[in-house]
Structure 1
């Protein structure tokens, strides 16, 4: 019996999702994409999960789509739809997704990384957008997300050369938050997941959504949206609840000094 192509392990409220096709550099076959979607759908219904760490086994996070398979099934991956709509599955996941980029994140794999809320990288991580070199148009958001994250000029440099970006430069450019030694990456990502999961669940979910929704519209409209949602949320907040939470935050801050 072959190993599962997606592994899920839980560390309390943090689920670690590992792409598990190491011999194929975790290439995103239709079967793997389908399993990723099913996994996130299942985790969204798990009342114990509050954060996900997404990573890959072996030398790659994922080297992108399975080109041999795509040559038979088509390359318009953004139009996958149906049961294997990868972008919809991750965008619809209500809890934080931390990408632990352990190795190569190439083209479609780069796009999958950009679907995460936060990126952490090992010293071995390498990013590349080779769409222009292999003749495929991105369909999972890379052409739009990357420029908003690192700036249009740097995004064009990556996308119009197809050159590789090392982990240290990715950190300097703001693509990843931090770079770790290979054996420290997953523990650091899991710890960040626990930090996020320790927030008030309702606020954690709502705050992620207001950030994402605001990012997709103009700044002025986003400011109005924040005020509206703040008013709606405030209706259920009491002085006693805030004071109690403030004490816990103060105590936590002392412990982090």
Structure 2
């Protein structure tokens, strides 16, 4: 059985962590498969948007502890930085469909996503301090940006589980849905994203991430540079056409 499933339909690729009996624990094999697949998707012309989810009752319970007992935390070829960089450098919108437990390393993967949508069964926890391990995939930085420093410290210091509705109240996830509504909603969201101009979408994605990585002042300066460069590519006629398309879409929604 493959540890990772990937299916593309009309420009949307759904990637599924597929070790349900192990709660999708991140074995060396699964991390390598994820890194390889995200590198492929970064240049895949058939993929506009990616949805990442898990099979069974877990998104991911984190690193495979049974395997770690045999290989150690810093085993050669563990793929940590490579895996992280492959996900973060996808260059396309990444929706995290959090179907169940997102724990420690699994929580870190969720935080790499652009948009998080959760099912009612989702639960989040950071157990690094219980394990005696310092986060290495960005959790210590990204979590506080989403929920604030105090709540991030509560989660990381106590290792308590946070349910889906609390996560939504804290701004960790955008919305909470019934389990059978999670993937259909994410597919519809992906379709809405596909309606965007691709070059502009990539520029906006880069700018939002730039601000998160570099701070507000540097982010605003970078925005000005990219905005001016992008404006030179768009003719007045094209801008009018896109404006009309946006207006038509707005009227249909109301």
Post-superposition offset of 1:220:
1.4
Query: Could you tell me the TM-score, scaled by structure 1's length?
Result: 0.95
1:29-61 deviation line (CA, Å, top 9, x unaligned) = 000000011111111121021100000000000
When normalised by structure 2's length, the TM-score is 0.96
Return the match for 2:190 from 158, 168, 193.
193
Q: CA RMSD, aligned part only?
A: 1.4
SS in 2 for 1:31: helix
- Quick check: 1:156 aligned with 2:153? yes
Residue 134 (structure 1) aligned with residue 128 (structure 2): no
Moved more, 246-255 or 97-106: 246-255
Alpha-carbon shift at residue 202 of structure 1 (Å): 1.0
Shift of the alpha carbon at 1:76?
4.3
Q: How does 1:1-257 map to 2 (within 5 A)?
A: 3-76=1-74, 80-81=78-79, 85-257=82-254
**How far off is 1:254 after superposition?**
1.2
Corresponding residue pairs, total: 253
CA distance in 1, matches of 2:84, 2:193: 22
SS in 1 for 2:134: coil
Structure 2 unaligned segments of length 5 or more: list them.
Answer: none
User: Does the Cα contact within 8 Å between 1:76 and 1:139 map onto a contact in 2?
Assistant: no
CA distance in 1, matches of 2:140, 2:219: 22
